[in-house]
Structure 1
Amino acid sequence: MLALAIPVALVDDHKMVVLGLRTLFHNRPEVEVVAFAHDAGEALAACRSKHPRVAVLDVALEGSELDGFELCRRLRSELPDVEVVFYTGMDELGLAQKAIDAGAKGVVSKGESAGNLLRAVLLASSGESYISPVFVARADQRDFDDLSPKQLAALRLLAQGNERKRIAEQMGIGEETVKSHLSEVRRKLGARTSAQAVAIGLINSLFDYEGEQAS
């Protein structure tokens, strides 16, 4: 195992999916599969003992008492250092929002290339988000037009990984003003945290993943 390899747990009720993901990640030096499970109970036990940095979960866990969303909530509550990425074949409207609300950092469609799942895992390990394009759709009736240009600019810069001080420098405003802008963004988007606000922005196409540089 490389010193910087990210420990990952894989959870899917289909054994062939888990086997395929284990094979995929085995060939990538950035990650190491430290645990795998086929139901929620196994997943909780494995994550408690193996301490992965990222858990890759399916949404539908047949035969489990918990679905993927509830498992995500349990993991985030009991093991807050474990970030969650959903890997799912479902594409129902609102699924990505449900995943983010449950505490996930990423949502990847099984119809996407394997490289995007790896990308989502790497981003999640550093606290960033990735949402598959298939899920990019308005999930509710939030009034996104209510965001001011400066509020949206602050959110875009935040999505790029900038801290408040750097956002203030790039926008030419004070840190307290940045704090106020982001507070208003969270309120208007109905987000509890700045990370959730970024995820909502991604889901609803408020900006591209790479973001746009503010002038």
Structure 2
Amino acid sequence: MTARTYIGSVRVALLDDHALVLKGLVAHLKTYPSLSIVGSSPNSQHFRGLLASMPVDVALIDYSLASDDPDGVTLVRSLRAAYPRMKVIVVSAYADGPLVRRILAAGAHGFVAKSQDPDEIIRAIDAAMTGRHYVPPALERVMENGKDPKLSPKETEVIRCLLDGLTVTQIASKFGRSLKTISAQKSSAFRKLGVESDNQLYNMREHVLASVREHE
């Protein structure tokens, strides 16, 4: 598939803290004549400087960055507020309905899973530049189903304890459950909340607590 031809080229800037991923994406996007890669960044601070220095049509950003960077939802909101005409497309290694809904609600124009064919990014850019939103076809039905999966009472306990700074071992001891059980409940809760790591959980504390309250 080739990118649609526009008047001029589509100026794309990329943000990803993994050098190999970033170089791979840049190399792939450069094979499309209608796309112009104006820059790439390993962190959000450098990326903001890039955006301030030149016009960008599409920002292609990783959802989960380093611990000192904002979480994906916060970053999408701030970019949309600062550059309302710029299209924002999020890529993530983790793809699930709750995560995608949260990203789109924050103002993103599209979502691409890192497990997808790289050409899906081209489809997402095409959709964004023609006034449409893009989500992976496999997630479209999940997106239409409405509500996020509900946390169980025990999953809620685990998430609250994690946010209070307890480790999995400490939580297991507190509730008299095995490490395997607590780890499984943590993994299940992360999937339902669209969270990929402990750092992301802490960075998204207020969003996560609001979601947990909705599930209680």
Q: 1:76 aligns with which of 55, 58, 80?
A: 80
Amino acid at match of 1:133: P
Q: 2:45 aligns with which of 31, 41, 46?
A: 41
Deviation at 1:40, TM superposition (A): 1.3
Q: How many residues align?
A: 141
Q: 2:108 aligns with which of 104, 108, 125?
A: 104
Q: 1:61 aligns with which of 65, 70, 77?
A: 65
Distance 1:111 1:65 in 2: 23
Deviation at 1:30, TM superposition (A): 1.4
Distance 2:68 2:13 in 1: 17
SS at match of 2:101: helix
Distance 1:109 1:141 in 2: 21
Q: Give the conservation status (yes or no) of the 8 Å contact 1:39–1:63.
A: no
Amino acid at match of 1:35: G
Q: Please, what TM-score do these two structures have when normalized by structure 1?
A: 0.61
What corresponds to 1:16 in structure 2?
20
Instruction: Kindly report which structure 2 residues correspond to 1:107-122, keeping only aligned pairs within 5 A, or say none.
Output: 107-122=111-126
Deviation at 1:3, TM superposition (A): 5.5
Deviation at 1:99, TM superposition (A): 0.8
Q: 2:95 aligns with which of 71, 91, 99?
A: 91
What corresponds to 1:204 in structure 2?
none
Distance 1:96 1:27 in 2: 28
Deviation at 1:67, TM superposition (A): 1.6
Deviation at 1:73, TM superposition (A): 0.8
Deviation at 1:94, TM superposition (A): 0.5
Deviation at 1:135, TM superposition (A): 2.8
Deviations 1:145-203 (A, max 9, x none): xxxxxxxxxxxxxxxxxxxxxxxxxxxxxxxxxxxxxxxxxxxxxxxxxxxxxxxxxxx
What corresponds to 1:28 in structure 2?
32
What corresponds to 2:159 in structure 1?
none
Deviation at 1:64, TM superposition (A): 3.3
Amino acid at match of 1:65: D
Deviations 1:14-61 (A, max 9, x none): 011110011001111111110211111111111121221000011101
Q: Give the conservation status (yes or no) of the 8 Å contact 1:8–1:54.
A: yes
Give percent identity, aligned residues only.
Answer: 26
Of 50-59 and 119-128, deviating more is 119-128
Gaps of 5+ in 1: 143-215
Inter-CA distance 127–64: structure 2 relative to 1 (3 Å threshold) = farther
Amino acid at match of 2:110: G
Deviations 1:64-114 (A, max 9, x none): 331222111111101111110111111234011011011001001111111
What corresponds to 1:179 in structure 2?
none
C-alpha RMSD over aligned residues = 1.9
Aligned structure 1 segments of 4 or more residues deviating by more than 4 angstroms: none
1:141 aligns with 2:137: no
Inter-CA distance 141–25: structure 2 relative to 1 (3 Å threshold) = closer
